[in-house]
Each structure stands twice: as structure tokens, then as C-alpha cells.
Amino acid sequence: MTAAAQAMAKREPADVAGAKAREDELTLAPPVDIFEDAHGIAVQAELPGVSKDRLNVQADRNSLLIEGDVAIDMPSGMEAVYADVQATRYRRSFVLSGELETERIEASLKDGLLTVRIPKRAEFRPRKIEVRVA
């Protein structure tokens, strides 16, 4: 084997490992529905296979980040030979309006559906004005 061929053979496993690492970094953008009412917005994200302990929801003044990892439990001694879904990570981010009160966000996860409720600030909510008879 020539020196060039030996160098190529030495690099190939590293290149395969690098490709595997890039494949592991791939993420899926979960399908999301966003609803608005007078009191705020609700973001519903479909995250099948993500458990509460593998879910990360973060918010600051003007952004919302949703991340989750799918845990596929394999029986001991078994290895997956084929899988339709290659990415096992979800990630989606949103820019939030200044009229939302990010300090009071509530989130719940049920049957793979994450619901994030973000209320509007009081000054942006419609209010009923009492009319007095003079």
C-alpha cells in the first residue's frame, strides 16, 4: 500500500465519524399551531416521543425556544437496523411581540402535544368600560 493510500485509510474513519456527528446534529422543526384570543396566545407543538424530562422551553423578553429529544428505548442487546426517522431532536424558535407577558408563561405536555400559553400584558387586553347614566 502506498503512503497516500495509507493516509487516506487513516482519514476515512474520522470522516465517517464526522458525518455521523453531523447526522446526529440534524433537527426536526415540529408542526406548530398558534392561536390568539383577547387574553393571550397559545402555541401548540407536536413533539411525539418527547418526555417532560427531555423537553426544554425557554423564554425571554422577545423570544420563545422549544427543544426536545426523542428517547427511543431499545430492548437490551438489540440494535436498530433501519429507522424512518433519522433525527431524534426537535427545535423551534419564535420572536415574541412586546405585548406578551413572558414572565407568566405556562406550559403543559400531554400525549406528545406541548401547549405553551403566553398572556398579554394588562395594558394590551381589551377591557369593558362601564357606562354610567348621567
| Model pLDDT, residue 91 | 95
pLDDT-above-90 percentage for the chain:
45
Tell me: pLDDT of 126 over 50.
yes
Q: Which of 45, 16, 53 is nearest to 112 (CA)?
A: 45
| Model pLDDT, residue 85 | 60
Predicted TM-score (pTM) of the model is 0.69
Q: Work out the angle at residue 115's Cα, subtended by the Cα atoms of residues 111 and 120, and round it to the nearest 5 degrees.
A: 170
Half-sphere exposure of 57 (CA within 13 A, CB side): 20
pLDDT tens track for 76-99: 888 777 766 655 899 999 999 889
Q: Which domains does the chain have, with CATH numbers?
A: 27-124 (2.60.40.790)
pLDDT tens track for 25-38: 678 899 999 999 98
pLDDT tens track for 56-72: 999 988 899 999 998 77
